[in-house]
Amino acid sequence: MWRGLLLLWMTVSMVAAFTWAPLVPGLEETTRVLYFHIPAAWLSVVGLGWSMVHSLLYLGRRRIEHDDHAAAAAELGLLFCVVATVSGSVWAKAVWHSYWNWDPRETSIFFILLIYGAYLALRSAIEGEERRARLSAIYSAAAFVTVPFLMFVVPRIYFSLHPDPLINPGGKIEMDPRIRIGFGAMLVGFTGLFAWLLSLRVRLVRLERVQLEAGAVPGGSL
Protein backbone atom coordinates (compact mmCIF):
# COMPACT_ATOMS: atom_id res chain seq x y z
CA MET A 1 0.00 0.00 0.00
CA TRP A 2 2.60 2.55 1.09
CA ARG A 3 4.86 1.50 -1.79
CA GLY A 4 2.11 2.31 -4.28
CA LEU A 5 1.69 5.66 -2.54
CA LEU A 6 5.44 6.29 -2.81
CA LEU A 7 5.34 5.44 -6.54
CA LEU A 8 2.48 7.88 -7.09
CA TRP A 9 3.99 10.56 -4.83
CA MET A 10 7.40 10.58 -6.52
CA THR A 11 5.89 10.45 -10.03
CA VAL A 12 3.55 13.37 -9.37
CA SER A 13 6.32 15.31 -7.58
CA MET A 14 8.69 14.89 -10.52
CA VAL A 15 6.07 15.93 -13.06
CA ALA A 16 5.20 18.96 -10.90
CA ALA A 17 8.85 19.91 -10.45
CA PHE A 18 9.51 19.76 -14.20
CA THR A 19 6.31 21.23 -15.57
CA TRP A 20 4.57 23.29 -12.89
CA ALA A 21 7.34 24.85 -10.77
CA PRO A 22 9.00 27.89 -12.37
CA LEU A 23 12.70 28.22 -13.13
CA VAL A 24 15.04 30.23 -10.91
CA PRO A 25 16.32 33.30 -12.81
CA GLY A 26 20.01 32.78 -13.53
CA LEU A 27 19.86 29.01 -13.10
CA GLU A 28 17.24 28.53 -15.85
CA GLU A 29 16.77 24.85 -16.83
CA THR A 30 19.44 23.70 -14.37
CA THR A 31 16.96 24.58 -11.58
CA ARG A 32 15.64 21.00 -11.98
CA VAL A 33 18.83 19.59 -10.47
CA LEU A 34 17.78 21.19 -7.16
CA TYR A 35 14.98 18.61 -6.75
CA PHE A 36 17.52 15.76 -6.71
CA HIS A 37 20.74 17.32 -5.43
CA ILE A 38 19.52 18.77 -2.11
CA PRO A 39 17.38 15.75 -1.06
CA ALA A 40 20.39 13.51 -1.80
CA ALA A 41 22.67 15.72 0.32
CA TRP A 42 20.06 15.76 3.08
CA LEU A 43 19.69 11.98 3.06
CA SER A 44 23.44 11.49 3.18
CA VAL A 45 23.44 13.37 6.52
CA VAL A 46 20.39 11.38 7.69
CA GLY A 47 22.03 8.07 6.75
CA LEU A 48 25.34 8.85 8.39
CA GLY A 49 23.55 10.20 11.48
CA TRP A 50 21.40 7.04 11.66
CA SER A 51 24.59 4.99 11.47
CA MET A 52 26.06 6.97 14.37
CA VAL A 53 22.91 6.49 16.49
CA HIS A 54 22.94 2.71 15.97
CA SER A 55 26.70 2.57 16.54
CA LEU A 56 26.20 4.19 19.94
CA LEU A 57 23.30 1.83 20.65
CA TYR A 58 25.51 -1.11 19.75
CA LEU A 59 28.27 0.09 22.05
CA GLY A 60 25.70 0.43 24.86
CA ARG A 61 23.69 -2.77 24.37
CA ARG A 62 25.97 -5.04 22.30
CA ARG A 63 23.08 -6.26 20.16
CA ILE A 64 24.17 -7.21 16.64
CA GLU A 65 20.93 -5.81 15.14
CA HIS A 66 22.25 -2.32 15.86
CA ASP A 67 25.40 -3.11 13.90
CA ASP A 68 23.22 -4.23 10.96
CA HIS A 69 21.43 -0.87 11.04
CA ALA A 70 24.69 1.07 11.44
CA ALA A 71 26.31 -0.66 8.46
CA ALA A 72 23.24 -0.38 6.21
CA ALA A 73 22.70 3.30 7.07
CA ALA A 74 26.36 4.16 6.44
CA GLU A 75 26.26 2.43 3.05
CA LEU A 76 23.13 4.34 2.09
CA GLY A 77 24.51 7.60 3.47
CA LEU A 78 27.57 7.11 1.31
CA LEU A 79 25.43 6.21 -1.71
CA PHE A 80 23.37 9.40 -1.37
CA CYS A 81 26.62 11.32 -0.80
CA VAL A 82 27.82 10.06 -4.19
CA VAL A 83 24.49 11.04 -5.79
CA ALA A 84 24.79 14.55 -4.27
CA THR A 85 28.40 14.82 -5.48
CA VAL A 86 27.64 13.70 -9.04
CA SER A 87 24.49 15.81 -9.37
CA GLY A 88 26.34 18.79 -7.86
CA SER A 89 29.20 18.28 -10.26
CA VAL A 90 26.87 18.25 -13.27
CA TRP A 91 25.19 21.39 -11.92
CA ALA A 92 28.59 23.04 -11.38
CA LYS A 93 29.57 22.32 -14.99
CA ALA A 94 26.40 24.01 -16.24
CA VAL A 95 26.57 27.04 -13.94
CA TRP A 96 30.26 27.52 -13.11
CA HIS A 97 31.64 25.87 -16.30
CA SER A 98 33.73 23.33 -14.41
CA TYR A 99 32.82 19.97 -12.89
CA TRP A 100 35.00 20.51 -9.84
CA ASN A 101 36.13 23.78 -8.26
CA TRP A 102 37.28 22.80 -4.74
CA ASP A 103 34.51 25.00 -3.42
CA PRO A 104 34.19 24.60 0.41
CA ARG A 105 31.11 22.38 0.01
CA GLU A 106 32.81 20.27 -2.66
CA THR A 107 35.90 19.92 -0.49
CA SER A 108 33.73 18.99 2.51
CA ILE A 109 31.83 16.31 0.63
CA PHE A 110 35.12 14.95 -0.72
CA PHE A 111 36.37 14.46 2.86
CA ILE A 112 33.07 12.84 3.90
CA LEU A 113 33.40 10.39 0.99
CA LEU A 114 36.93 9.56 2.11
CA ILE A 115 35.98 9.17 5.79
CA TYR A 116 33.03 6.85 5.12
CA GLY A 117 34.82 5.01 2.32
CA ALA A 118 37.38 4.19 5.00
CA TYR A 119 34.55 3.03 7.28
CA LEU A 120 33.43 0.47 4.70
CA ALA A 121 37.04 -0.59 4.08
CA LEU A 122 37.48 -1.04 7.84
CA ARG A 123 34.37 -3.22 8.06
CA SER A 124 35.49 -5.45 5.24
CA ALA A 125 39.01 -5.78 6.69
CA ILE A 126 38.06 -7.02 10.18
CA GLU A 127 37.48 -10.71 10.84
CA GLY A 128 35.07 -11.73 13.56
CA GLU A 129 31.54 -10.41 13.92
CA GLU A 130 31.82 -8.98 17.43
CA ARG A 131 35.21 -7.34 16.84
CA ARG A 132 34.07 -5.87 13.51
CA ALA A 133 30.89 -4.52 15.06
CA ARG A 134 32.69 -2.96 18.06
CA LEU A 135 35.51 -1.29 16.11
CA SER A 136 33.17 -0.11 13.35
CA ALA A 137 30.80 1.35 15.93
CA ILE A 138 33.62 3.31 17.56
CA TYR A 139 34.78 4.57 14.13
CA SER A 140 31.25 5.51 12.98
CA ALA A 141 30.43 7.35 16.21
CA ALA A 142 33.70 9.31 16.01
CA ALA A 143 33.43 9.92 12.25
CA PHE A 144 29.99 11.52 12.52
CA VAL A 145 31.44 14.33 14.66
CA THR A 146 33.03 15.65 11.45
CA VAL A 147 29.78 15.60 9.42
CA PRO A 148 27.97 18.65 10.90
CA PHE A 149 31.28 20.53 10.86
CA LEU A 150 32.04 19.68 7.22
CA MET A 151 28.46 19.99 5.95
CA PHE A 152 27.19 23.02 7.83
CA VAL A 153 30.08 24.94 9.43
CA VAL A 154 32.90 24.97 6.84
CA PRO A 155 30.72 26.27 3.96
CA ARG A 156 29.57 29.15 6.18
CA ILE A 157 33.07 30.12 7.30
CA TYR A 158 34.77 30.29 3.91
CA PHE A 159 33.71 32.07 0.74
CA SER A 160 31.65 29.68 -1.34
CA LEU A 161 30.44 29.68 -4.93
CA HIS A 162 27.34 27.86 -3.66
CA PRO A 163 24.19 29.93 -3.26
CA ASP A 164 23.11 30.90 0.25
CA PRO A 165 21.60 28.11 2.32
CA LEU A 166 17.88 27.52 1.74
CA ILE A 167 17.06 28.87 5.16
CA ASN A 168 18.82 32.22 5.26
CA PRO A 169 20.31 33.83 8.40
CA GLY A 170 16.97 35.57 9.02
CA GLY A 171 15.32 32.15 9.38
CA LYS A 172 13.25 32.55 6.22
CA ILE A 173 13.03 30.31 3.17
CA GLU A 174 13.28 32.59 0.16
CA MET A 175 11.86 30.49 -2.65
CA ASP A 176 9.03 30.79 -5.08
CA PRO A 177 6.04 29.02 -3.40
CA ARG A 178 5.69 26.54 -6.29
CA ILE A 179 9.39 25.65 -6.13
CA ARG A 180 9.04 25.27 -2.36
CA ILE A 181 6.10 22.87 -2.76
CA GLY A 182 7.88 20.85 -5.48
CA PHE A 183 11.07 20.74 -3.45
CA GLY A 184 9.24 19.74 -0.25
CA ALA A 185 7.37 16.99 -2.10
CA MET A 186 10.61 15.61 -3.56
CA LEU A 187 12.26 15.77 -0.14
CA VAL A 188 9.41 13.74 1.39
CA GLY A 189 9.49 11.27 -1.51
CA PHE A 190 13.25 10.79 -1.31
CA THR A 191 12.99 10.27 2.46
CA GLY A 192 10.38 7.56 1.87
CA LEU A 193 12.67 5.93 -0.70
CA PHE A 194 15.53 6.09 1.79
CA ALA A 195 13.42 4.38 4.49
CA TRP A 196 12.51 1.61 2.04
CA LEU A 197 16.12 1.12 0.90
CA LEU A 198 17.27 1.04 4.52
CA SER A 199 14.72 -1.60 5.48
CA LEU A 200 15.71 -3.76 2.47
CA ARG A 201 19.43 -3.42 3.17
CA VAL A 202 19.04 -4.27 6.87
CA ARG A 203 17.04 -7.39 6.00
CA LEU A 204 19.66 -8.39 3.43
CA VAL A 205 22.47 -7.95 5.97
CA ARG A 206 20.55 -10.18 8.42
CA LEU A 207 20.01 -12.84 5.75
CA GLU A 208 23.70 -12.78 4.86
CA ARG A 209 24.60 -13.26 8.53
CA VAL A 210 22.15 -16.14 8.94
CA GLN A 211 23.59 -17.77 5.81
CA LEU A 212 27.14 -17.36 7.09
CA GLU A 213 26.19 -18.80 10.50
CA ALA A 214 24.54 -21.74 8.75
CA GLY A 215 27.74 -22.32 6.78
CA ALA A 216 26.16 -21.57 3.43
CA VAL A 217 27.98 -19.80 0.64
CA PRO A 218 27.58 -16.04 1.21
CA GLY A 219 26.10 -13.84 -1.48
CA GLY A 220 23.49 -15.52 -3.62
CA SER A 221 21.41 -14.58 -6.58
CA LEU A 222 19.69 -11.45 -5.36
Partner 1 sequence: MSGNLVVLGVALLAWLLLFFYLMRLERRIKELEKR
What is the contact surface with partner 1 in residues (CB under 8 A)? 3, 6-7, 10-11, 14-15, 18-19, 29, 32, 36, 196-197, 200, 203-204, 207, 220, 222
d(CA 130, CA 21): 50
Between helix 34-61 and helix 64-96 the angle, nearest 10°, is: 160
CB of 63: closest distance to partner 1 in angstroms?
Answer: 19
CB of 49: closest distance to partner 1 in angstroms?
Answer: 23
Q: How far is CA 179 from the centre of its chain?
A: 22
State the Cα torsion 164-84-32-183 to the nearest 10°: -70
CB of 1: closest distance to partner 1 in angstroms?
Answer: 13
Q: What residue type is 15 in one-letter code?
A: V
CB of 12: closest distance to partner 1 in angstroms?
Answer: 11
Of 1 and 157, which has the nearer Cβ to partner 1? Answer: 1
Of 21 and 112, which has the nearer Cβ to partner 1? Answer: 21
Q: Which class for 25: exposed (0-12), middle (13-18), buried (19 or more C-beta within 10 A)? A: exposed
d(CA 43, CA 21): 23
CB of 222: closest distance to partner 1 in angstroms?
Answer: 6
